[in-house]
């Protein structure tokens, strides 16, 4: 099974500053057959279910603000929030969906400094 490891576990960033969350998979989630990385990012605010932000490692879900971006390939991925807003306080999870079982990272808690 593929293990997903996020870093850091928690992060405090000032409003308007950049936030960067990393995710590493224990094996590659890139498929050369379709040139896609099977990696998604989710945002979970307190008391709410997770919300899909990014899929295929860098494709933003409809309605997600463009300050959110995803990058990386193979085993190393990054979620970047270019200018942190108060409403971005949440826990962020990465997920690989390249096979069964899919698996999630442990989560990164993002707070305002």
Binding mask 4-43 for another protein (x = CB under 8 A): ----------------------------------x-x-x-
Q: Are 21 and 110 in contact (CB under 8 A)?
A: yes
Looking at 8-93, list the stretches that DSSP marks H as alpha helix, in order from N- to C-terminal side.
none
Task: Give me the least distance between CB of 64 and another protein, in Å please.
Answer: 11
* Distance, CA of 39 to chain centre: 8
Among residues 20 and 56, whose Cβ is nearest to another protein? 56
Task: Draw the binding track, 53-92, toward another protein (x: CB under 8 A; -: no contact).
Answer: --xx----x-------------------------------
DSSP, collapsed to helix, strand or coil, labels residue 88 as helix
Q: Please report how close the Cβ of residue 90 comes to another protein at its closest, in angstroms.
A: 13
For residues 1 and 83, give the distance between their C-alpha atoms in angstroms, rounded to a whole number: 35
* CB of 112 vs another protein, minimal distance in Å: 21
Task: Phi first, then psi: give them for residue 86, nearest 5 degrees.
Answer: -60, -35
Dist CA 97 CA 85 (whole Å): 29
Which residues of this chain interact with another protein, rule CB under 8 A? Answer: 38, 40, 42, 49-52, 55-56, 61, 93, 95, 97-107
């Amino acid at each position: 099974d593929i293990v997903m490891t996020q870093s850091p576990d928690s992060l405090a960033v000032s409003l308007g500053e950049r936030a960067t969350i990393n995710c590493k998979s224990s094996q590659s989630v890139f498929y050369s057959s379709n040139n896609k990385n099977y990696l998604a990012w989710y945002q979970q605010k307190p008391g709410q279910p997770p919300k899909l932000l990014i899929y295929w490692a860098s494709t933003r879900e409809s309605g997600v603000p463009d300050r959110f971006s995803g990058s990386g390939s193979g085993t190393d991925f990054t979620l970047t929030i270019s200018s942190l807003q108060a409403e971005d306080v949440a826990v962020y999870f990465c997920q690989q969906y390249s096979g069964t079982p899919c698996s999630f990272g442990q989560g990164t808690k993002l707070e305002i400094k």
